[in-house]
Structure 1
Amino acid sequence: MADLSPPDRDRRPGAHKGKSSGKVADFRYKRPAPSERKASGKRPARRGESRQGSPQRRQAYAALDLGTNNCRLLIARPSGENFTVIDAFSRVVRLGEGLAKSGRLSEEAMERTLGALHICADKLRRRNVHLARSVATEACRRAANGEQFIERVRRETGIVLDIISAQEEARLAVLGCHILLEDGAGPAVIFDIGGGSTELVLIEPGGPVPRILDWQSVPWGVVSLTDTVGPVSGAPAAREARYAEMRRVVAESFAAFARRIAPVAARADDIRLLGTSGTVTTLASVHLELPQYDRRAVDGLIVPSTAMREVSMRLAAMSPRERGGLPCIGNDRAELVVAGCAILEAILDIWPAKRLGVADRGIREGILRSLMASETAPAGGRAPASAPASATTGAGAGQERG
């Protein structure tokens, strides 16, 4: 197994050569020019202080994750070795709707997304955010007009989005949720089922942050797989066939990664598995028979893998109306959740862990840890490779599932 992650296999050349700032309303973060400082008579803030002279540990940091299906924002302040969430926002925007067939972001999808991003920009300004990073993932990576949309977002909202690579997306997901891995010394796979892609990361335990041994990103998420194969609906036989085709398509994409990790799984006594996504949090909610979603009951839950398979097969066999009637799914997720079930089953096929950890945290938390770690690095030195081990979350901090 290679010590280093393989190079990112970007499916659209030049997709990641854009902005690298990721800050909202960049003018708010620019230091005044020397002439401006002299005119004001105020000294510039020292490292570790805000402009008002208060300790930097009280500054607010923000992470915005624009995915294929959701737009999510998290604003937090450092709190000891952790952080406390002070504001959060999540909305299903379906940015990647129709992308699999057209290769472009539709005008309707972009308008929905801009509406959510205007709300995010307002929150960032009102919370007086000291440092923010905003990222866009698979939908903007794949779309022919992805970079044009990023520029439109900058003009209309002031938010500067980075179109991050699949490798960076995987790294941030690991950084954000690895603390929830089940205790043990064996190797582990962390996965993130998104709207437009799925990332799988093989990690070696030990140290503040696990070492990444191998990884893969495939262009199948709950939106892209549903758009390509079609919804699991119709008569029972048709639903069964459509679900089987979803599993076949995903398994084919996982094949190279499966061959690489098979020897690792074979020689380990106990392998571990952790998932972060709307799919795993939703399935965990169904498994627990929750009357409504409860992040406190789901985040950090360890579920037998057989139980998650049973839930997946049960949902795939249901009609869309039956799925929509379940408390933690509803009509909005009734169509997409089955694609997530197919992806999860394919992951369990190639990494047959006995138990599955569930994380309602991921990229945003990984971004926050990276930002806070970089700010606390010694002057002239490198930021720590890791960030705080866990987060203290406030009301409304759970990620939008689906």
Structure 2
Amino acid sequence: MSQVAVIDCGTNSIRLLIAEISGSTFKEVIRTMEIVRLGQGVDENKAFHPDAINRTLLAVKSFKEIIDKNKVDKIRFCATSATRDAMNRNLFIDGVRDILNVQVEVIPGEEEAALSFTGATYQLDQGSGPFLVVDIGGGSTEFVYGDKKVISAKSVNIGCVRMSERHLINQPPTMDQITSAIVDIDIAITQAAVSVPINSAKSLIAVAGTATTVAAAALDLSKYDRDLIHLSKISADKVHKVAQMFQSMNKSEISALPYMHEGRVDVITAGSLVLSRVMAATGVVEFVASESDILDGMAFSLIN
């Protein structure tokens, strides 16, 4: 039995998982998240804002306290879209090293996709494959196709933070803003489809906060319930209706939803629009919402 700690730092959130793993046996010890918006302004400026770095390093310090209280054999820290794009990424990387004494891995989109695929599918019946795993993050969205292993993958820059900053400036957004976002999103999905057979999967699995929040909305939950969301099946029709619902609401109305994390209030409209356009492009009738994702894939990577 090996106990590992893995940290995934994206554009919107930073997340920690501590797990005990033995072979294919996986036991979650701790899973926690903080919304830090590391990617604040990165799409426009190609650099981290000092405030964003400070917020994220404070979260890293809190994660260190948790890790120190739990004896772990290995630690892995991966950073994704925002860190890939930021020219001053070393300010962040050096700060993490000073706190945790680990090297931040700035992983390419295709590796991010592969790790998400492993995490999203290890609990699933292989008879429901081949799978298309879609990971809508803050800065990018990963498309990965495979069965027992990854066959093809592509990362495109249509994350919920990036689309919010680039297009959906108002809440509710204007029709012109929605239209320009759809054009951007559809172009990126078309680019992904060149590398990934997005129309060939038997099951579409969607991971990360956008997908699970859309699932919570579709299920009309009275609070965010990870157990009820995990492996729930959400129809394409409900996804489109949820996306339209968010487009019609102001920030106060979105914030008042009982399942809504405060750090997603200003980006869920863009994120749900991305998921809606993915559903339309793939033609699938439903997606499976998975609470297992890149963190789980990272954890397994440490014992293989």
TM-score by length of 2: 0.93
Aligned match of 1:25: none
Aligned partner of residue 286 in structure 1, secondary structure: helix
Bigger Rg over Cα: 1
Partners of 1:232 and 1:335 within 8 A in 2 = no
Tell me if 1:85 matches 2:13.
no
Aligned partner of residue 223 in structure 2, secondary structure: coil
Tell me if 1:298 matches 2:249.
no
Code of the residue aligned with 1:86 in structure 2: it is V
Aligned match of 1:218: 156
Aligned partner of residue 95 in structure 1, secondary structure: coil
Code of the residue aligned with 2:135 in structure 1: it is D
Tell me if 1:241 matches 2:184.
no
Percent of residue pairs identical:
27
Distance change >3 Å, CA 239–CA 184, structure 1 → 2: farther
Partners of 1:180 and 1:300 within 8 A in 2 = no
Superposed counterparts of 1:11-160, under 5 Å: 57=1, 59-78=2-21, 81-160=24-103
Unaligned runs of 5+ in 1: 1-56, 375-402
How far does residue 261 in structure 1 lie from its aligned partner after superposition? 5.2
Distance 1:284 1:310 in 2: 12
Unaligned runs of 5+ in 2: none
Match of 1:355 among 269, 272, 286: 286
Distance change >3 Å, CA 138–CA 330, structure 1 → 2: closer
Higher strand share: 2
Code of the residue aligned with 2:297 in structure 1: it is G
Distance change >3 Å, CA 258–CA 87, structure 1 → 2: closer
Distance change >3 Å, CA 213–CA 88, structure 1 → 2: closer
Match of 1:230 among 168, 185, 190: 168
| Structure 1 moving runs of 4+ over 4 Å | 180-186, 259-262
When the two chains are superposed, the root-mean-square deviation of aligned CA atoms in Å is 2.1
Distance 1:182 1:256 in 2: 29
Deviates more, 1:141-150 or 1:167-176: 141-150
Distance 1:198 1:98 in 2: 18
Aligned match of 2:192: 257
How far does residue 74 in structure 1 lie from its aligned partner after superposition? 0.7
Partners of 1:323 and 1:331 within 8 A in 2 = no
Partners of 1:181 and 1:273 within 8 A in 2 = no
Aligned partner of residue 67 in structure 2, secondary structure: helix
Code of the residue aligned with 2:260 in structure 1: it is I
How far does residue 330 in structure 1 lie from its aligned partner after superposition? 5.5
How far does residue 79 in structure 1 lie from its aligned partner after superposition? 5.5
Deviations 1:21-49 (A, max 9, x none): xxxxxxxxxxxxxxxxxxxxxxxxxxxxx
Aligned match of 2:264: 333
Distance 2:56 2:256 in 1: 27
TM-score by length of 1: 0.71
Distance 2:38 2:130 in 1: 35
Code of the residue aligned with 2:29 in structure 1: it is I
Code of the residue aligned with 2:219 in structure 1: it is L
Distance 1:80 1:190 in 2: 23
